[in-house]
Structure 1
Amino acid sequence: MPAVGLILFSAQQTGALWSDTETLPGATITAGTLDIGVGAGSFTLGSFGQTGLAVGGYSQTPLTVKNTGDVPTRYRLTNVTQSDAALPLTLTVWEVANESACPASGDPTGAATQLYDGNMIGASTELRPALQAGASTVLCLRGTVGTGAGGGLASTTTFTFDASQV
């Protein structure tokens, strides 16, 4: 029986802005700006949505994560939520060389490192190696409709990322 699935994407970025200088005997410590970005505020990735997906059908799209701060930053996906948990979705996340290495269909091309493969709800990854200030990396996200999906279901997914200064 065909299932109808709709996967929408909303990413939340995290950031902290602080600056302080303290003079200590023999040294000066200065903090910088810590910020990762995937868009302005709440970011909708419309290309991640699909309609009319049956069990095993998927939507796949790249997501560029950029260190928009001025200090080296590590980041990780910390959680994924769905607006309708009745729609069984799985998530696969790869780190790829560039956006073109994450086609809309088929496996990522070139060197791809798989970071996660499991349930969409509660998905998280380990901390990624530091991104230098101004640097970016590309994640390839695949949401797949799981077994037991009924017809007419739709869900919006929200991805939450955390960042930490190196």
Structure 2
Amino acid sequence: MAGKIDAHLAELGIEIPAATAPAANYVPYVKTGNLVFISGQVPFVDGKLTYQGKVGKDFKTEDGVACARICALNILSQVKDACGGDLDRVVRCVKLSGFVNCIDGFGEQPTVINGASDLMVEVFGDKGRHARFAVGTNALPMNVAVEIDAVFEIN
């Protein structure tokens, strides 16, 4: 029955943004079989890039967590588009891959990416529990603080 996840989102006060078009020569997601592969999402809010800089220098860990949550909201927008607007079709969040633009010696990448992981569980419950990795890097496109891609199983 369509609408259970949308009703849950409303209860949580979470709004999923509209899916955006890719910024280069790629597609925002690919469906193959029952899997949807979501291209890396960055912290766009209302068409504007946020959180540009390095975690550990320009941002604290908790700012990185907030940035990861924005990336996860953008992931959900692409999943919703891939599901024809019906998030009830999500069987499971399979995997998140998280990249944190950070200074040398920063070791809290898992905490930062928890901003995305926690949102998936908040929205989907046990279906939101996933495999993942969280790594640090010296740079990300457009100098964003976080980029995350994802894999979902849908019906």
TM-score above 0.5 = no
Q: What TM-score, normalized by structure 2, do the two folds share?
A: 0.36
**The structure with more strand, counted as a fraction of residues:** 1
For the pair shown, the structure with the greater C-alpha radius of gyration is 1
**The structure with more helix, counted as a fraction of residues:** 2
